[in-house]
Amino acid sequence: MAYLAQARAALAALPATRLLGASRIEETAPLGGADQPPYLNQMVLLETRLDPHALLDACLAIERQAGRARGARWASRTLDLDIVRMGDRRVEDARLTLPHPAIAARDFWQRELAELDRL
C-alpha cells in the first residue's frame, strides 16, 4: 500500500501533470505463474502535457525510487507502473506501445478503467 501511495504522490508531482483520480486498490494473483505473493493493483487518471516517452521515463524513475530492480520477467517487484492508454494516442516503437498491448487481456485493468471512466 505504501508503494502505491508513494507512486500516486510522485505522479501527481510530475511537471505539467495533475492527478484527477484513482481506482480502488485490488489484490490479484501474480501474472506469469511465478510462486510469489499477490499483487496490489491500482490505476490512476492523469492529465498531463508530457509526451508519452517523457511520461514513460518519469514512471521508470519512480519505480527506481521505490527500489525496483529489473530482473526476470514476472519476478516479484516493489512497483510496476504501466502506461495503459493516453487518450486516443497511438505509439508503437521499441520502448512503448500505446494503448498497452495487454489492455484487453487483464480483467482488473478493465474494471479499473471502467471505474476511472465514471469520474
Tens of pLDDT, residue by residue over 56-97, are 999 999 999 988 877 666 666 789 999 999 999 999 999 999
pTM: 0.90
DSSP letters of 84-103?
---TT--EESSS-EES-TTT
Query: Which tens digit of pLDDT belongs to each residue from 27-52?
Result: 988 877 667 888 899 999 999 999 99
- Cis peptide bond upstream of 99, omega within 30: yes
Domains located in the chain, CATH noted: 2-31+38-69+77-117 (3.30.70.560)
100 bridge partner residues: none
Nearest to 9 by CA among 99, 70, 79: 79
Q: Is 111 exposed, middle or buried (0-12, 13-18, 19+ CB in 10 A)?
A: middle
pLDDT at 31: 76
Q: Is 19 exposed, middle or buried (0-12, 13-18, 19+ CB in 10 A)?
A: middle
Would you state the pLDDT for residue 5?
A: 97
DSSP for 47-77 reads EE-S-HHHHHHHHHHHHHHTT----STT---
